[in-house]
Amino acid sequence: MTPDTSISAQDLERSKDSFFSERADIVAKNAVTSQGIRSAARVPEAVAKNSLDFDIDLTQGERTDQMHSGRCWMFASLNTMRYRSIKKFNLKTFELSQAYPLFWDKLEKSNWFLENIIDTVKEPLNGRLVSYLLTDPIGDGGQWDMFKALVKKYGVVPKEAMPETACSKNTRELDMYLTRYLRGTAKQLRDAAEQGKSADDLRAQKKAMLEDVYHILVTCLGEPPASFEVRLHDKDDKLVLSGTFTPQEFFDKAVGMNLDDYISLISAPTKDKPFMHTYTVSRLGNVVEAGGVKYLNLEAEELKRVAIAQLKDNLPVWFGSDVMQSYLTTDGIMDTAAVDVDSLFGFPVETCLDKAARLDYGESLMTHAMVIEGVRFDSDGQPTLWKIENSWGKDHGRNGFDTLTNPWFDEYVYQVVIDKKYLTEEERHIFETEKPTVLQPWDPMGSLALSD
């Protein structure tokens, strides 16, 4: 007997009768078609609990705006760094250049990509690995370890020393043309390998290709400064820092952060990633000599514990999450209780998968990096609400700030960056001594924060 694989007229009639026999479904239809799903599912009582009142509340400079670019990981990293500068020199506000690391990241990612192409010249072009490498060779996204590698090699500069350009504010065209060029170089390298060229020959070709990449980047972003003049005035207009600095000297003087102390913790409750073990992702990185990324996988409660410990020491926390889940963007609220989609539709939609299943089935991964700058506790001292600095400008949310509830943290926060001194002795020992398990390049823990 042939199985019934099609949608029949009887199936359609049954679905129609089921829908229009329920008053709630009709009301939901009218609301959603007029206002959209999230607006119709918005729960005002839950929204009201997301006020900007916190027990720990770090004050930051003016909001930053990544505009139409996927540089959230850079903005989040620089926002944690500029916080130190603002406190150190008693500044009203201060901003580090985001165009500066963008330039070096594109150049380093190009080199990383070409090295991967050389390394895989014997792999089939239509195989999964090479296809993956060609998909997005120099996209805007990134991870903390990748940003750390850029700063250790190139330092940082004030925004005035390398301001935004049309191509940094909106990276679409730069990414499009640079990606096209790099795919062309990939073909040239693979063709040369087929003709019997050695790896040394291919790397000699690569050097010329990188000169072209540099040409493209200077054309689009301007030339990064080798040194620059600085005049910083504090809140009382007193000159607190002046002189000529290289980017590395300025990082040491103005930020003064020991980058190697800061490590990435993830929380991925999938069977292939047991907690209390370390992981890396194959072929994920940017600066070749720095290597790739490294994570320690811990329960979400541990991520909260160390984040609170760092906040108590008056230091913000870089974190990565799946930002658009249960998110009221206009309100600036990430709250699983504030967006009740399941009640709107009448059956489990948002709750049809748990956190592990969302990772396994491609429903969720880290998409955006932001900064935790505050937390509210209940009467038992447990966190209930987190203050978040976004990088979408002061007109987003509430003066550029969002809130994130504790249940949302459990479900959608995947990564935090903290000083390793906050780890337990056992956790630190594992991170420092265990050889990381290597995950496939397309593993969800290899996702890059880039939401704009």
pLDDT one digit per residue (tens) for the chain, 452 residues: 567 899 999 999 999 999 999 999 999 999 999 999 999 999 999 999 999 999 999 999 999 999 999 999 999 999 999 999 999 999 999 999 999 999 999 999 999 999 999 999 999 999 999 999 999 999 999 999 999 999 999 999 999 999 999 999 999 999 999 999 999 999 999 999 999 999 999 999 999 999 999 999 999 999 999 999 999 999 999 999 999 999 999 999 999 999 999 999 999 999 999 999 999 999 999 999 999 999 999 999 999 999 999 999 999 999 999 999 999 999 999 999 999 999 999 999 999 999 999 999 999 999 999 999 999 999 999 999 999 999 999 999 999 999 999 999 999 999 999 999 999 999 999 999 999 999 999 999 999 987 77
- Structural domains present in the chain: 56-446 (3.90.70.10)
Q: Could you tell me which of 334, 337, 304 has the C-alpha nearest to residue 319? A: 304
Q: Could you tell me which of 179, 114, 166 has the C-alpha nearest to residue 140? A: 179
| Chain centroid, CA 401 distance in Å | 17
Q: Could you tell me which of 286, 283, 289, 294 has the C-alpha nearest to residue 117? A: 283
Contacts of 123 (CB under 8 A, 6+ apart): 129, 130
- The residues carrying an active-site annotation are 72, 368, 390
Please give the model's pTM, rounded to 2 decimal places.
0.96
Residue 442 tokens read as 């397309």
Given CA atoms 123, 124, 128, 132 in this order, what sign does their dihedral have?
Answer: positive
Residue 415 tokens read as 């990564």
